Amino acid sequence: MDRSRSASDKQVVAPASERPLVALVLSGGGAKGMAHVGVLRALEEMHVPVDIVVGTSAGSAVAALYALGMDVDDIEDRFIDMDWLSSFRDSPGRAYKPVRRKMEDWRYPIDPGIGVGREGLKLGRGLVAGQNLGFILNELTSNASLVRDFDELPLRFRAVATDLETGEEVVIGDGALATAIRASMSIPGVYAPTEYNGRWLVDGGIANNLPISVAESMGADVIIAVDISDTLLDSDQLTGAFSVVGQLTTLMTRSNVEEQLELLTDEDVLIRPNLDGLTSADFFDSSRIMEVGATATRNAAVALNRLRVDPVTWAGYQQRRSVKHFTPKLISNIEIKDDSRLSSEFLLSRLRQKIGEPLDAEQLRDDLRRIYGLGYYETVSYALKSDESGEGSTLVIEVDEKSWGPNYMRFGLGYEDNFENDTRFNVAANFQMTQLNALGAEWNTGVQLGTEPYVRTEWFQPLDYGYRRFLLLGGDYQREAYSVFDDQGSRVAEVEVEKQEIDISLGLELGAEGELRGGYQRGYSSVDDAFGSSGAYSDSRIERGAWDLQFTVDTLDDPFLPSSGGFLGVNGRFERPGLGSDSDYDRTTLLGIGAQEWGQQVVVGQLYGSMVTRGEAGVESYVSLGGFRRLSAYARGEVTGADAALASLYSYRRFGGPVVPFFAGAGYEGGNAWQNVRDASWNDVIHSWNLFAGIDTFLGPVQLSTAYADDDHWTTFLTVGYSLESLFIAP
């Protein structure tokens, strides 16, 4: 086949002697795409230069990195060290959420991306929007952030994607390099499609998984094609739903691969790594997969030998490929491209990048993660372009509002059972209306049904574009029941405490992790014996009115099973008759949590205290310990008083992998409750020891634990979704 080059075709790497123009074509295949890195390694060992790289899906990522001049060693290291699972999650991590969002996490951990509009419930365009994948690709391609024509790269490059509307092949040769890769890798139903020049693009494997035809159209004389696509399974191997879905995917891509293979000539080289037993999801076998690719390439040495060049020519080739021509200049302008209801000043106020200074990529990614953590956007990304003078760079910030917003649903489930006399089961749902005005007002309503009913509605009004200052107006209803026990540990009564309250507060963000808020609360409480006699007074209505001041810092990576970070919360409540209260007292509550990870072992410490510092509190504001992680050897309410203190230390170890994250550990809890903390002594401290094991789920940890106290108390708990923070944040 005659593959003549037109005069218009660009050749960046000029040969030192006459040699064919070589194109490397890399197919898609998910995690198996790391075999392409091994192919590059072996080609470099043989001194086989390539001039054009074309890729589909995972192949486009490897091809792009090589085209922009990245060293193979660097590509290898990045792929081995990469947190691949993060690319299948959108959340940048809990650390990037504002404190008010974190306060909701423990009650509503299930965030499935359900929107609510006039037409009903709405879902996103994929299980994953691709936010973290975008950050990863931005970082990987940062050396070519100013490139808009892929023929200007050290090696000419093309990515192949599929038009979602027509099913047509789309060859991408310009634009942002990260966007091109992202479009080529957008697995339908998994990743949301990527917009490119007014078209919605998905994984290129649907249209052309081995784009030999693209390399031909670019004038290649010789094509090295690397096919890692799956082979069809026989009937004996189709044993489950996943294998059937995989077979359908293979059927979809195999036909276009076979069509492309027919374009190969005797001058071309086909490399097929033996990837039997490996799947497109085996990201943690990267070293093994790379070696398989290298081995397959070395086995093709006879066919590749004629493409080798002498050491001098190879050195010149490598030098020209590695030259960096794309160093970003000073930032001369910041451009905001968004389709949201919020003012552009909102985004600008949350960026720390200064005009006239070099790009601080790490700081910028940190700022964009915090913007994404607000929950308004499907994707938040950035790009660079040369300004009109050519002396500076324009930083382009692009945000895409969630297609299923701006109103969202979140859910939660909590369960606690000691297999004796205390079972607590609650289901919760939260409805959030966002971007209600240019400053980003929100209306948030949560409902919890079960043994501890709870309703909270709240208007959040920022007082500036950056959310640094805000106003909260809210109201809530809650009911909690706990048992009363005699000295022998027998349950003699059950007490119900019911509260209704409205509140208004002003708040201030303290950096990225802290918050200070203070305000006025007004309402009433009632205390009733559901059965038996608690010995406590009952009153149909106890008026309450108080000033409230709260300081919170939250850097925990997880509200249920943290492995790093900390939490510090301090709350002061000041009830006064002049504020409408029947009581006259001050209460201070403190909770501190710290978590540290060493390999697979995690240690978590907790210190809690709540005490009346002035006056006398009624039973409606007593602190109830007992229950899971609250002196676990005792039932809820078995340790109750006006003042309480609790210290705990837990250590657990992770087992299994990311799909089945088991854990097991042991812990100690010490504390008690008193009518007056001044009457407390070290002899009063209750010591509770426990063992626990479980699995981390989207509902929070599901765990089974057993606890023993030094007065021969034994208790076993089954729990779902218990959070340490609930001691402080729970109403």
Encoded amino acid at 488, one letter:
Q
What is the SS3 assignment for 32? helix
Query: What is the DSSP code string of 375-406?
Result: S-EEEEEEEEEE-TTSSSEEEEEEEEE-TT-S
Q: What is the number of other CB atoms lying within 10 angstroms of the CB of residue 642? A: 21
* Assigned token pair, 686: 């209750």
Helix (H) / strand (E) element for 242: namely helix 241-261
How far apart are alpha carbons 479 and 731 in whole angstroms?
A: 9
Buried b / exposed e over 488-509, threshold 16 CB at 10 Å, is: eeebebbbebbbbbebebebeb
CA atoms within 13 A on the CB side of 85: 5
Q: Which of 90, 203, 221, 227 is catalytic?
A: 203
How far apart are alpha carbons 515 and 628 in whole angstroms?
A: 28
Q: Which of 27, 51, 57, 632 is catalytic?
A: 57
Residue 665's DSSP bridge partners are 652, 692
Cα 148 to chain center, whole Å? Answer: 30
Torsion angles phi and psi, residue 274, rounded to 5? -80, 95
User: Is the bond preceding residue 406 a cis peptide, omega within 30 degrees?
Assistant: yes
Encoded amino acid at 587, one letter:
R
Give every CB contact of residue 107 below 8 A, 6+ residues apart in sequence: 412, 414, 428, 430, 446, 448, 726, 730
Beta strands in 165-253 (DSSP E): 169-172, 194-196, 199-203, 222-226
Per DSSP bridges, beta strands 423-433 and 407-417 are antiparallel
**Residue 340 annotated to the active site:** no
**Residue 203 annotated to the active site:** yes
Beta strands in 339-490 (DSSP E): 377-386, 393-401, 407-417, 423-433, 442-450, 454-462, 469-485
Which of 26, 30, 85, 84 shows the shortest CA–CA distance to 250?
30
Beta strands in 511-659 (DSSP E): 514-532, 539-554, 565-575, 585-598, 601-615, 623-625, 639-641, 643-655
Is residue 333 within 8 A of residue 36, CB to CB? The reply is no
Per DSSP bridges, beta strands 700-709 and 331-338 are unpaired
* Assigned token pair, 616: 């006398």
Which of 645, 651, 628, 653 shows the shortest CA–CA distance to 680?
645
What is the SS3 assignment for 363? helix
* Assigned token pair, 213: 């035809």
Which of 107, 701, 727, 118 shows the shortest CA–CA distance to 447?
107
Known catalytic residues? 57, 203
